[in-house]
Amino acid sequence: MDRRDFFHGTALLSSGALLGCATPGVAQQQARTPFTVPATYIPIIGSDEVFPVRRIYCIGRNYAAHSREMGSDPTREPPFFFQKPTDAIQYVAAGTVADHPYPSLTKNYHYEAELVAALGKGGRNVPVEKALELVFGYTLGLDMTRRDLQRFMGDQKKPWEIGKSFDKSAPIGAIHKVAQTGHFTKGAIWLKVNGQTKQSADLNMMMWSVAEQIANLSQAFELFPGDIIYSGTPENVGPVMVGDVIEMHIDGLPGLSVRIV
């Protein structure tokens, strides 16, 4: 079993973490199944436990300059969210350069560097002042996007899914517990391609803070432990080609790097 299989694997079945999920509608006891469906885990720094991913939420157009480059008026737009499937996660260990496959169907494959909040508690209608109490930790990730297909579907008023929610579209680093990092309300966020700076901004330029995102999301969905939230990307998104190396950084976290193959 290679490393990727482990993080999308059944290696932890015996831990009891997989079954007995508290989500309504999910079987509460162990059942015999004709095959196994992988679950997704992300390593937790400084712990022998791993973080089980329940859902991946992503906010759209959360930095004004990026909103403008996507053709929106940021002053009039409430936050909106989409989801990626849990198994879109591609875990990337710090200090490594993971191979990231150029996906099918696109000719305009874009990076988006983002802070990611990982929830250890759930709730609905969570007030902004209490929202950060739900956060277990933070990491950084790439919201990889088939931009041509996202635009094509948007222009036709059809769902974005094919542009955003495809296999391996969510490269992500290990989770850092909030006790070790504090909350991320400011600090540099940047992304380089082949050593050249493409995105460079500050987390304090988010239009909706992580706390506001949690509060807003919790009005639409009941949040649960294991939910993670990609908190949006700054301006200057752009394309990559096979052979390019993406390096991203957020102050206070180790970097994340992938090579497009």
Binding site for Mn ion (CB under 5 A): 112, 143, 233
Rg (CA), the chain: 18
**Closest CB to Mn ion among 137 and 234?**
234
Query: What is the closest distance, in whole angstroms, from the C-beta atom of residue 105 to Mn ion in the complex?
Result: 19
Query: What is the closest distance, in whole angstroms, from the C-beta atom of residue 163 to Mn ion in the complex?
Result: 11
**Closest CB to Mn ion among 6 and 152?**
152
**Closest CB to Mn ion among 41 and 230?**
230
Query: What is the closest distance, in whole angstroms, from the C-beta atom of residue 233 to Mn ion in the complex?
Result: 5
Query: What is the closest distance, in whole angstroms, from the C-beta atom of residue 23 to Mn ion in the complex?
Result: 25
**Closest CB to Mn ion among 143 and 247?**
143
**Closest CB to Mn ion among 40 and 233?**
233
Residue nearest to Mn ion (CB): 143
Query: What is the closest distance, in whole angstroms, from the C-beta atom of residue 102 to Mn ion in the complex?
Result: 18
